Each structure stands twice: as C-alpha cells, then as structure tokens.
Copies of this chain bind each other. A is one copy, B any other.
Amino acid sequence: MHFETFTMSENLLSMMSSDTIKLSKSDKKIVTIIQRNPKQVIHYSIATLAQMAEVSEPTVNRFCHKLGCDGYPDFKLKLAQQLSSGSHLFVDNMERNDDTYTVMQKIMESIQSSVQLIGKSTSPESINQAASLLLDCNSVSFFGMGASGPVALDAQHKFFRFGMPVIAHTDYINQRMICSMLNEKDVSVFISYTGRTEAIVESARLARDRGAPTIGLTRDGSPLASCCNVVLNAVTAEDTDLFTPMTSRIIHLALIDMLATTVALRMGDQLEENIKAIKTNLRATRRLS
C-alpha cells in the first residue's frame, strides 16, 4: 500500500482545492495565486509570492509547512516535480467539445497517474508469491471476459513465449469445463477489474474448491479477491465512467508485465534458450526491406 520512490506525500494542487487540510483566509489568497499559474509560481521567490497574494512571507512559509513541505524551496521543488510528472491532472472527464489534442493529453495523464499508482497499491510480495506459484506448476490458465478477454490472451502470448504450458479462456463454457478439471498443480489466473463478474467469480471458486492455486488480477476486497490465494491489487487513479475502462486494461497489462518479468528473471538460463528459439523462427515472418 505504500512503496514511495520519489517522496510525494500527496498531490499538492489537489490538496489545495479539496479540503483535506484546513486553510485560513490568507492561505486561500495564496492558493488563488498558485492555481492561477502554477508553472510560473515555481520561479517566484517567497517574497514575490507573498506580495502577489498580499500576505506576509512567514504566512507563505507556514502555508508550505501545512502542506507537508519542509519549507518554501521544498514546496517549489515538489510543485515543479508534480507539474511535470503529470500527476497534477484534475483530469476531468471528456468534454463534448474537447479537441483531439486535449483528448490525447487527458488520456495520457490518466494513464500516467494510474501507472504511478501501481507502485503504491500493489505490493512486490504479492507479485513474488504469484511468480512462485507459476514457477512451480504443470499448467497455467488465464481467465478473462469482456474487456479482460484480450488481457487474458495477451498474458497467454507472453507466457507462451517463455515456453510455459499456458492457455487463455475467454469463453464461459470452456472456463467452467477447465475449472472443474484443475488440480493442485494447475495455476489459474482470474482477470476482472471490478472483481464482480459473476461468471469469473464462480469459476474462481470452483478452482479453489478443487485445491488449485488461484491468482486474482483484480481489486483488493472484491468478491473475486476473496476467492484467490494471491491477489495482485489493480486499481486506477480515478474511477470515472470514461477513464476506468481505459486505464484498467493498461494497468492489468502492466501487472502482467511485472509478473512475467519476475518469472523470467527467476527462470534464468533455461528461459534464454526458449526466447532465442522463438526469435529465430519469427525472423522469417518479417520483411527487412
């Protein structure tokens, strides 16, 4: 839940708007100036900002401390980082008359912040545990439906290249059939952002009841999560109707990349042989002109 790399207590700009912290009258004057043009503020001295907000310098300084910064220079630094890391995004939903450039920016920012969130919400331990299961099994099955169907297929493709006996099921009937045949050496991975898709939850329960190790690519605390031995927690930055279906798939793919890479690194030499074999075969299908 907390694996900060670049210390980033919180998003300063959103902190100022939302009332996570109690702001005095003077503080609000400061906020106004900052919000008017954050990119410029980072070049102001404390004196300049104080003057513009029509408050005293110590007030600005205290304001910075309230926001969890170590002083004014530290505040400027953090603000600068957040502005250029894209973690500012108030990314409101699309507007009917957004131009394409704006649409691109909003989607990019939405992805950015969701990716950043992985580092905070998904623990390396869970990935390690999942990797251990995958390294010690006879077969792997990925299950996904709807938007998660392509994710399951992508996972299949990825692990398939490692030379693992893997298969993806996007078909409800097939899922049921497979799940009722699993045993304790058959790992199954269930993919669902909401973790509430009836069919997937039932399949997961079926698998677990048969003693097969189950991995959930879903959000912690969901019905699906409670049927899984290991959960790779997948949440997106903001749960808006429009952005979630976009970013959730991408987050799932990113998690699969992490899982696959971890597995690959642990496989060591054995893997390189497999990869090399596939690459050689693939070359024939490419045109070099």
Minimum CB–CB distance from A210 to chain B (whole Å) comes to 21
Determine whether A85 belongs to the interface, using a CB cutoff of 8 Å to chain B: yes
Across the interface, A257 reaches (CB within 8 A) one of B98, B107, B124, B201, namely B107
Do B157 and A150 have beta carbons less than 8 Å apart? yes
A197 CA to B265 CA, complexed, in Å: 28
A96 CA to B249 CA, complexed, in Å: 28
Q: What 1/0 mask marks residues of chain A from 61 to 95 whose CB sits below 8 Å from any chain B CB?
A: 00000000000011011001111111000000010
* Inter-chain contacts of A76 with B (CB < 8 A): 77
Determine whether A154 belongs to the interface, using a CB cutoff of 8 Å to chain B: yes
A10 CA to B103 CA, complexed, in Å: 24
A92 CA to B270 CA, complexed, in Å: 22
Across the interface, A86 reaches (CB within 8 A) one of B85, B147, B150, B261, namely B85
Across the interface, A107 reaches (CB within 8 A) one of B5, B83, B261, namely B261
Knowing A85-B85, A151-B150, A285-B197 touch, does A253 contact B254 (C-beta < 8 A)?
A: no
Q: What 1/0 mask marks residues of chain A from 104 to 126 whose CB sits below 8 Å from any chain B CB?
A: 11011001100110110010110
Across the interface, A83 reaches (CB within 8 A) one of B6, B125, B286, namely B6
* Inter-chain contacts of A36 with B (CB < 8 A): none
Determine whether A229 belongs to the interface, using a CB cutoff of 8 Å to chain B: no
Nearest-CB residue, chain B, relative to A82 = B84
Determine whether A149 belongs to the interface, using a CB cutoff of 8 Å to chain B: yes
Determine whether A19 belongs to the interface, using a CB cutoff of 8 Å to chain B: no
Do A286 and B198 have beta carbons less than 8 Å apart? yes
A118 CA to B103 CA, complexed, in Å: 12
Across the interface, A198 reaches (CB within 8 A) one of B6, B125, B287, namely B287
Determine whether A289 belongs to the interface, using a CB cutoff of 8 Å to chain B: yes
A250 CA to B257 CA, complexed, in Å: 11
Determine whether A139 belongs to the interface, using a CB cutoff of 8 Å to chain B: no
A116 CA to B94 CA, complexed, in Å: 19
A53 CA to B108 CA, complexed, in Å: 38
A147 CA to B6 CA, complexed, in Å: 32
A-to-B contact residues, CB < 8 Å: 3, 5-6, 39, 42-43, 73-74, 76-77, 80-86, 94, 96, 98-101, 103-105, 107-108, 111-112, 115-116, 118-119, 122, 124-125, 127-128, 131, 146-147, 149-151, 153-154, 157, 194, 196-199, 201, 223, 242, 246, 249-250, 253-254, 257-258, 261-262, 265, 268, 282, 285-289
Q: List 26 A-B contacts (CB under 8 A).
A: A3-B104, A43-B77, A73-B73, A77-B80, A80-B80, A81-B81, A81-B84, A85-B85, A96-B265, A99-B124, A100-B262, A101-B124, A103-B262, A104-B118, A104-B127, A107-B254, A107-B257, A107-B258, A108-B116, A147-B154, A150-B150, A150-B157, A196-B286, A197-B286, A197-B287, A250-B254
